[in-house]
Structure 1
């Protein structure tokens, strides 16, 4: 029977580097006064031996829990899971774990979840949600640890990260124009959503004031209905930019049912890059990726900076989107 591997201890690293245990500890923690040569020698010895610092010991020595809390009301995880993935990726190499809880839209439940997070002494919080213009039902004004907001509404004095909806919509509309599409239309979600207004405004700025903008539900059914309305008004557009991938899938299905070739006669672009929808659309959907994973990574970087005492200017930071070209609009992907 194989024996369990022996854990490498700090004393082993110290012996290999020919320094005291205290010096080895300071070298690995980036503290203490010593030559660069000594610090490098200790770190190289630790790497060669496969030394992994004890998380509890690190937490005690730094007076931190080495955990960050993620609070969301996105129960389906449509937006939160990519943010969570990026957040974890940004923190894992620092030995920091992420604890996530879903607060739904119940203020009492949200407060209980927050209290649990604080009881666990998380070092910081990242708050995220399912839309950019509504706040979670949770007052964080009295929280004494750093808070970063990602893809949800935060207070004016906080750091808030979101996708640049206008920039992404501009990319989509310009791409349709570059394909020679001159009769453009925009089919999007409810006008009360800030994201829908931002995308519609950017579309109109590129396509011109005469290009139709139709607001409805974030659904495939609305995509079907919008196509019926557009074709009832005339010959229909030759390029359609949709405010979500679900709407775009409904649009593509409705066009196929009418015998309209996509992308031969009409190019279609969505928004979200929701892989399960974009890949299942026939043809596969060209769409705008909001970069939610990148938003999560930046949230991790910023919350860590705040925990470590760095100054971070408050305000809304809009991260750029990118266009993912597939079969629904034709053309060659931009370099």
Structure 2
């Protein structure tokens, strides 16, 4: 068992050990400890730390570092991530790898400081202009977050796209035992800027956008085919299946274990990639499944849309999909069990 460490600090150290050598950002609760930790740690490993004058400036500095072949990343929360969207579209358009950490906080608009999952649709659909997607990874523990940081950089480089780590305010602020990875050897991207830029032309002119669209779809289809990640259990005999990611996914697992001990045939799917959504996990569902229940920490229900679309794609459109979004915080095991009892009693109506 590793040492007790705060989530944001563990994530920052894991990025260092994965080879990140530039961090540029702007402070915002509940992600600020990432920046605070790196303000001294980056210098110790010969990297570059920049407290930019704004979130926009920070992500643009990441564009410059990535263009030069350096592993670079930024972090923020809520409206700070919104301000970074134009930079993320530029990274996507120029096929530059980078990692963006979103420590999600609740908000109807600009928001509060409460932990939540209200940014799901923005992160999985691409929050800026254009026809692009980001790989989105969703840890349910500090240990998993640390492991996903290295993967995020690797996937960003492999596919030349942005990887988003979508954590939650509570995960960033809490402490757990964590085993940190070994320090990796630093390598610059072989295609990095060296005076003879070899990537496609920058900007909007002299480009074959029809050809680029074909290649874009080929890349995204490859990502969908190869990079779906999830955890699941008890799907083969389950009458009802819960779907939840992140910290609610963690408490959902506990609720499923307790419900099964009480004699209920239930299972769970915990997406680890929000994009690509783990559609393959739904291939193992019981043919006699009675319903799917989405557990979320937002006000409107967002994950539920992808669940319903996947159910339809798997030709199980007659299966009802339920959702009782819990606004913010982490729904307790007891609360999740209460949701289930409302479903089987007919007190909760399906969303789809």
Q: Common fold, TM-score beyond 0.5?
A: no
Structure having the higher Rg: 1
TM-score normalized by structure 1? Answer: 0.30
